Amino acid sequence: MSQFAINLLFVGASFALYIGIAIWARAGSTKDFYVAGGGVHPVTNGMATAADWMSAASFISMAGLLASGGYANSTFLMGWTGGYVILAMLLAPYLRKFGKFTVPDFIGDRFYSKTARLVAVVCLIVASVTYVIGQMTGAGVAFSRFLEVPNTAGIWIAAAIVFLYAVFGGMKGITYTQVAQYIVLIIAYTIPAVFIAMQLTGNPIPMFGMFSTHTESGLPLLEKLDDVVNALGFRDYTADVDNKLNMVLFTLSLMVGTAGLPHVIIRFFTVPRVADARWSAGWALVFIALLYLTAPAVGSMARLNLMTTVYPEMAGQVEDYEAAAGDAILYEERPNWVRTWEETGLITFTDKNDDGRIQFYNDGNEAFADTAEARGWEGSELTVNNDILVLANPEIANLPGWVIGLIAAGGIAAALSTAAGLLLAISSAISHDLIRSMINPNITEKGEMLAARISMAGAILLATYLGLNPPGFAAQTVALAFGIAGASLFPALMMGIFSKRVNNKGAVAGMLTGLVLTLLYIFTYLGWFFVPGTNMLPNTPDNWILGISPLSFGAVGAIFNFTVAYLVSNATEEPPQEIQDLVESVRYPKGAGTATGH
């Protein structure tokens, strides 16, 4: 059986499973559509939350970021994991106790304001749409390689599959589909990692293998990797970061963004009791840890495999790395995995010095320029998309065809599971918080269900269009979404739970300040919507304020949000007494739904 047929078998079987589950668990009411009827078991919800959380960025792009940036990119791991702990400990149980369907629902009622609800809807849509771009981009990468279709066609296929099981199943269908997707993605991620760890270190546990001895060279694996990349002008893989302020802010931005993500928060509305929300959070952390403890090993091993593919002389014991680096592989002798990924356009080769060999080095390192010139190199000739490294790992390591098919299904499952959750959050905000709560309060349940499905279909079309024209690779785009959510929604949720003094005016002013400042900073330094040829500030650290990256500015936006909300609230009237009593009842254990009767 050909590799394409194996891939098609694995991916097709997973699609049939997802669609079958959606038909079996089709939503029959708005409560089914928004919160799966409110009766999901904590373990089931924990697994579904993990799948919702571990997106294409986690499965596909995070290890690629670690592979390309090493220790400096460990901020993704620290920020995402730390933020989930904040969400589980400080937000999820209280929001579940409040007993609403959506994040704007909570903000609108807590701050007794339709304006606050509307601003929350806008913040939710901006963050979620930005996030879903990354999922569609990741799905396109996976489809383009494993189903041998163009990236554009891959994104359209992903949109069609999400449409089939999310539009009809709602949260009820998505919940049980995500359980299946978690099982697929975690098996797909860990099995190749175990094989590769065994090949490189003899240790079957990837996270331990990363700190074990590299079998061919006899050196610790990370030391071997440092030697290889250093010989090619790259920073040591384990090198510290230069800008500590930016690192701290970026980690904080991911943390508060995680805790403010609407599509993850609404998962905790699906369990019967407040205690179940806490148990769900605990189980989700266990399920997330299985992948997150493996990702650093996958990243480091993928980077070493990639470099030694191009420079085979560097794989074993090396006396002279400079000499080994001068002997790159002939392009005609490139391995099959490079050839197959070239067909997707995600690996490209340009023979700049016409020597027939693949030079792959850091041509942006001025200190390395003389060494490169002495070797006759005229620029790095290989371009590798970060998003392919996890997906290409089984092929790099010459693993069996069924493993490649399995990781194809896993990568696609990771992208689709999060995309479905995000699209549901967008759909719920439009149908429940805009149409039912503000535009047409008398709409029937049937009409609201129809509005929810139409708005989800519209969101899928928008996400597909933006996925075809992404502003960056998957994890970059996702990081921007986290910054937007952290700067706008997270402070409002925290103050809504833990402060009786913050009023509607303060909350609205804070959310708008955080959102606008963050978007202005992102647009100024990334320039997404500027006309080409205009005087746009270059996206380089030299132009960033205090060296703060656009990806890190969400933390600054959150600080401004908290500050403005506090100042405006204290300069205006106190919230009504019933609202203060509401906050008090949410924060103290009197049972699920005490605050609102749900």
In this structure, what CATH number is given to the domain that contains residue 262? 1.20.1730.10
Considering the entire predicted model, what is its pTM?
0.81
Q: What is the mean pLDDT of residues 521-542?
A: 55
Q: Find residue 347's DSSP bridge partners.
A: 384
What is the pLDDT at residue 473?
Answer: 47
119: in domain: yes
Element holding 347 (H helix, E strand): strand 347-349
Q: What is the mean pLDDT of residues 446-475?
A: 79
Q: Residue 507 corresponds to which amino acid? A: A
Q: What is the mean pLDDT of residues 324-333?
A: 87
Contacts of 301 (CB under 8 A, 6+ apart): 193, 196, 197, 200, 206, 209, 210, 221, 393
342: in domain: no
Location of structure tokens 């008398």: 442
What is the pLDDT at residue 472?
Answer: 52
112: in domain: yes
35: in domain: yes
d(CA 326, CA 331): 14
Please state, for a pLDDT cut of 90, what percent of the chain lies above it: 31
144: in domain: yes
DSSP assignment letter at 213:
B
pLDDT in tens, 163-205: 877 777 777 888 888 888 888 889 888 988 998 999 999 999 9
d(CA 334, CA 330): 6
383: in domain: no
DSSP-derived 3-state class of residue 81: helix
d(CA 595, CA 98): 6
Q: What is the mean pLDDT of residues 115-125?
A: 92
H helices, E strands: number in the chain: 27, 2
Distances (CA, A) of 415 to 406, 419, 461, 477, 529: 15, 6, 16, 13, 26
What is the pLDDT at residue 476?
Answer: 57
Element holding 9 (H helix, E strand): helix 3-24
Scanning 25-163, the segments in alpha helix (DSSP H) are 30-35, 42-53, 56, 62-69, 75-86, 92-98, 103-110, 114-146, 151-162
| Inter-residue contact 460 to 144 (CB < 8 Å) | no
Domain that holds residue 244: 3-301+396-469
351: in domain: no
274: in domain: yes
In degrees and rounded to multiples of 5, residue 330 shows phi and psi of -70, 140
Candidates 550, 407, 579; CA nearest to 477 is 550
Most confident of 5-19, 131-145, 212-226: 212-226
Q: Find residue 220's DSSP bridge partners.
A: 213
Cα 410 to the chain's mean position, in Å?
15
Domains in the chain, number? 1
Comparison of pLDDT for 578 and 538, the residue scoring more: 578
CA angle 317, 318, 322 (to 5 degrees): 165
What is the pLDDT at residue 111?
Answer: 95
| Inter-residue contact 270 to 42 (CB < 8 Å) | no
DSSP-derived 3-state class of residue 451: helix
Cα 245 to the chain's mean position, in Å?
23
Q: Report whether pLDDT(285) > 70.
A: yes
d(CA 186, CA 288): 9
pLDDT confidence tier of residue 222, bands split at 50, 70 and 90: very high
Q: Residue 519 corresponds to which amino acid? A: L
| Inter-residue contact 565 to 491 (CB < 8 Å) | yes
Location of structure tokens 């480091």: 300
